Structure 1
């Protein structure tokens, strides 16, 4: 059995065919798609975070709104770029959103991806400490955030406060118990996956990673997951970790599907460079259901993961994306034993 959710990058544009022509369109349709996905029986609604782009950015208002409109579906990010975050303010936002959602938040955080602007985090008031890289700064912000959401008091109370204080040092409020166990790290390499395991973070692995040995993408990703689980076990954590992978998967059911995705072109992995690091980009899947079942059954990383996030073309609108999700849940997942 697998949890199956969707992952939206939240694009908008006024280009031909776009049904998300403004930020407002994207935000409101994201809420509607999460509601529709819950009604279909999907397990998660996840959103990408990009700054300085016509895409979803600050996630917590959206997550809280979805939390208020739904009752069962997991609500998350994949991923929040921690280079941009004030970890204390983020802890307050996350606590509030999780309480509104009644404990359904699944926050993916990471160092982030290549940006729209040069060193965009500097415009947010952050810069690496002496001897740090921006990736080091992201991990430092993440570790502070994790300490804050654990809920321990750390701040010295004012002896003459405006409102009465409980005894002892004060913590950030609102605090949401259990949130610490629902934080994920988006890892692009085996080493960062192992680092995340040491901290007790769940693992998110996307459709690209460092090309560490020249093997096919799904094989390298499966190796990353196994290395993560071994590091988790070595760290001695009491609970079982969760692991998600994301994929572009489209079942060709009707003429719309064939028009949008039936022409092929992404059936093989691609090699490229991200900031001078050789990276491998995983293939997409688009085929009739029977063929799709055969192809997905050979994906080693999907087999290793407990959660699959389906990347959706959000600019095609809520109705079509609901159809995309339903096609996988109805025509593909049962044949693979995921449902």
Structure 2
């Protein structure tokens, strides 16, 4: 069995060819897609977070709205750029979203991706400490966030508060029990995957990764996942970790599918991103029986317990429901995932 969810980047553009022409369109359609995905049996609704872009940004209002409209589907992010985050305020908003959803929040966090602006985190009031890189700062913010999630008191109470305090040091509220075990780190390298394991976070691996061995993406990701699991075991964490991989998968079921994705490239690409040589994963687009054969050879999907599907949100809710349902009904059973 494998959990199957979707990941939306939340693009919008004022174009007659786009079903999402405004931020309002994206937000409302994201809620509708999550509701529909739950109804057809999907396991997760995840959303990308970008700043200074025509894409989804601050995720917690959206996640809270989805949590209030659904009852079983996991809701989460992939990923929140921790360079931009105040861990204390983030804890409060994440806690509220998790409680609204009944404990279904799955938060993917990371140091982030290439930005729309130069050092955008400075506009949010953050700067690396002396000797730190911006990536170091993101990991530091993440470590503070994880400590706060433990729910231990750390703040000295006012002796004359507006409202009575419980005894001892105070923690931030609302506290969301169990959320600490539902934090994921989005890793683009073997080293950060190992670090995530030592920190007790689940692992998210995307459709790109640092090109560390010149092998296909799925082979490098599979090794990354094995290194992560080995580090998890060595760290002695008491629970089993979770691992997700992201893929672009398009079953060609009708003329519209063929028109949109019938000519999609089917090979990995190597390029540079943030001064890092990276391998970018292929797009899987074929009739279901061919997809089953191709996906069976993907070593990283085999290693992961969760598969996230990158959805083309600008094609609208109905098309994306069709896409997800095609995978759930035509591909997943033949793969042994359902």
What interval of TM-score do these two structures reach, taking the shorter chain for normalisation?
Answer: over 0.9
- 1:251-262 counterparts in 2 under 5 A? 251-262=251-262
Once the two structures are superposed, the pairs formed by residues 7-156 of structure 1 within 5 Å of their partners are: 7-156=7-156
Question: Aligned partners of 2:61, 2:274: CA distance in 1, in Å?
Answer: 31
What is the deviation of 1:92?
A: 0.3
Q: Which residue of 2 aligns with 1:279?
A: 278
Unpaired runs of at least 5, structure 2: none
Query: Which residue is equivalent to 1:325?
Result: 324
Q: Distance in 1 between matches of 2:187 and 2:270?
A: 18
The 3-state SS of whatever aligns with 1:62 is helix
Q: CA deviation at 1:276?
A: 1.7
Q: CA RMSD in A?
A: 0.5
Does 2:311 correspond to 1:308?
Answer: no
| Deviant stretches of 4+, over 2 Å | none
Structure 1: gaps (5+ residues): none
User: C-alpha separation between the residues in 2 aligned to 1:16 and 1:241?
Assistant: 44
Query: 1:120-178, CA deviations, whole angstroms, 9 ceiling, x for partnerless residues?
Result: 00000000000000000000000001111110000000000000000000000000100
SS in 1 for 2:5: strand
Residue in 2 that maps onto 1:337? 336
**Counterparts of 1:16 and 1:189 in 2: how far apart (Å)?**
39
Query: Number of aligned pairs?
Result: 338
1:14 deviation in Å?
1.1
Deviation at 1:15, TM superposition (A): 1.6
TM superposition shift of 1:275: 2.1
Measured after TM superposition, the shift of residue 277 of structure 1 is 1.2
Deviation at 1:16, TM superposition (A): 3.0
Cα distance in structure 2, aligned partners of 1:148 and 1:15 = 43
CA distance in 2, matches of 1:102, 1:292: 35
**SS of aligned partner of 1:154:** coil
C-alpha displacement of 1:291: 0.2
* Partner deviation per Cα, 1:46-91 (whole Å, 9 max, x = no partner): 0000000000000000000000000000000000000000000000
Q: 3-state DSSP class of the match of 1:248?
A: strand
Alignment partner of 2:153: what SS? coil
TM-score by length of 1: 0.99
Cα distance in 1 for residues equivalent to 2:255 and 2:6: 22
Report the Cα offset of residue 26 of structure 1.
0.2
Q: How does 1:218-237 map to 2 (within 5 A)?
A: 218-237=218-237
